[in-house]
């Protein structure tokens, strides 16, 4: 284990994200502590693994995490020969979704100082704007560079997905009855909500398959699901690069065993779910798959 990155959450608990290896590959794990020592691993397998995209099939390493309304992770990846930097996001610090536009930062063309690749970095949220200090190499020397966020207006990616955290009803015979969501769909855009259930916390072969409820709308009536845990996925698409679907809230209604139907609302940690963003053509490309805003929308950002 190496390259620890320690961040404090809103309740004061310390979360340590680190790189772990089995001598064949590298992944990212997490441990927690209420003090400055004695960290306890809280999830196995790792929270972030290599792949399935081609740019990070060999390994992922050097996590840098920022907690907020939506948690962000910046990490290094390698495809066997070339290093790059990737981005992932999470609701709970455990279930991470990688950007489909990764890597957001690769080395420049030769003979640039980082032409052999960008390995890992540390994000600094400064009042003048977020800054990313990262490691790069030209094959002979290793140096540290700086990238900043560009607030130039973006365009939107044609499609993207969001994967929720695992929802726990605390009853193995829970009947998950209905999903409700509040969304805005521009002309021609679509949004599909799917879910799966299981009786153990970590999804495996015993869980049900993904079932799509419906495309669009505010009240969905899927086939009944039974099981303690549920996870949902939202797939979004848009035909226009200047408009995006927005999901404002998602609720799941369930009936516990032997009891009356009761609402069990789960909401995103912020009001808006915005589709995948892409950068301005001709600049260094960086994308944030899904941007969550707390109260009002602001111009999205990219690294460049």
The predicted structure's pLDDT at residue 155: 66
The predicted structure's pLDDT at residue 218: 44
Report the distance separating Cα 91 and Cα 264, nearest Å.
18
Q: How many CB atoms lie within 10 A of CB 44?
A: 10
The predicted structure's pLDDT at residue 231: 92
Cα three-residue angle 8-11-17, rounded to 5 degrees: 30
The first and second tokens of residue 261, run together, are: 């139907």
- Is 0.95 surpassed by the pTM of this model? no
The predicted structure's pLDDT at residue 293: 24
DSSP 266: -
Query: What is the SS3 assignment for 114?
Result: coil
The predicted structure's pLDDT at residue 152: 62
The predicted structure's pLDDT at residue 271: 34
Length of the chain: 304
The predicted structure's pLDDT at residue 177: 77
**Closest by alpha carbon to 88, among 101, 72, 109, 67?**
72
Report the distance separating Cα 69 and Cα 292, nearest Å.
7
Report the distance separating Cα 182 and Cα 74, nearest Å.
30
For the chain, which domains are there? 2-150 (2.115.10.20), 159-274 (2.60.120)
The predicted structure's pLDDT at residue 90: 87
Phi, psi of 244 (to 5 degrees): -145, 145
Helix, strand, coil in percent for the chain, rounding step 5: 0, 50, 50
Report the distance separating Cα 175 and Cα 254, nearest Å.
6
What is the chain's pLDDT, residue by residue, as a tens digit (304 residues)? 788 899 999 889 999 999 988 888 899 999 999 888 888 888 678 999 998 778 899 999 999 999 987 788 999 998 877 889 998 888 889 989 888 778 888 888 888 999 888 988 888 877 777 788 999 998 889 999 998 876 665 667 788 888 999 999 888 888 887 787 888 887 778 888 889 999 999 999 999 999 887 544 444 455 567 889 999 999 988 876 667 888 878 888 787 764 445 444 433 233 334 443 333 222 222 222 232 222 222 333 334 3
Report the distance separating Cα 149 and Cα 262, nearest Å.
44
Query: What is the SS3 assignment for 117?
Result: strand
């Amino acid at each position: 284990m190496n390259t620890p990155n320690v961040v404090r959450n809103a309740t004061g608990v310390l979360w340590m994200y680190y790189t772990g290896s089995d001598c064949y590959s590298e992944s990212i794990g997490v441990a927690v502590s209420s003090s400055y020592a004695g960290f306890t691993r809280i999830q196995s397998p790792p929270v972030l693994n290599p792949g399935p995209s081609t740019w990070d099939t060999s390994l992922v390493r050097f996590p840098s995490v920022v907690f907020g309304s939506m948690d962000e992770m910046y990490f290094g990846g390698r495809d066997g020969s070339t290093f790059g930097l990737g981005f992932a996001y999470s609701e709970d610090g455990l279930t991470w979704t990688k950007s489909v536009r990764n890597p957001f930062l690769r080395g420049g063309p030769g003979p640039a100082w980082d032409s052999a690749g960008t390995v890992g970095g540390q994000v600094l949220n400064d009042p003048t704007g977020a800054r990313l200090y990262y490691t790069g190499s030209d094959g002979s020397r290793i140096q540290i560079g700086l990238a900043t966020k560009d607030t130039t207006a973006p365009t939107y990616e044609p499609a993207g997905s969001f994967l929720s955290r695992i929802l726990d009803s605390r009853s193995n015979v829970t009947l998950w009855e209905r999903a409700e969501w509040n969304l805005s769909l521009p002309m021609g855009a679509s949004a599909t909500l799917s879910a799966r259930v299981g009786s153990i916390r970590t999804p495996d072969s015993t869980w049900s398959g993904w079932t799509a409820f419906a495309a669009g709308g505010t009240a969905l009536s899927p086939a009944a699901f039974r099981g303690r845990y549920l996870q949902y996925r939202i797939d979004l698409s848009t035909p226009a690069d200047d408009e995006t679907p927005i999901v404002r809230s998602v609720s799941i209604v369930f009936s516990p065993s032997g009891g009356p139907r009761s609402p069990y609302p789960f909401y995103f940690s912020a009001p808006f779910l915005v589709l995948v963003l892409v950068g301005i053509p001709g600049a260094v490309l960086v994308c944030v798959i899904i941007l969550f805003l707390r109260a009002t929308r602001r111009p999205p950002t990219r690294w460049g």
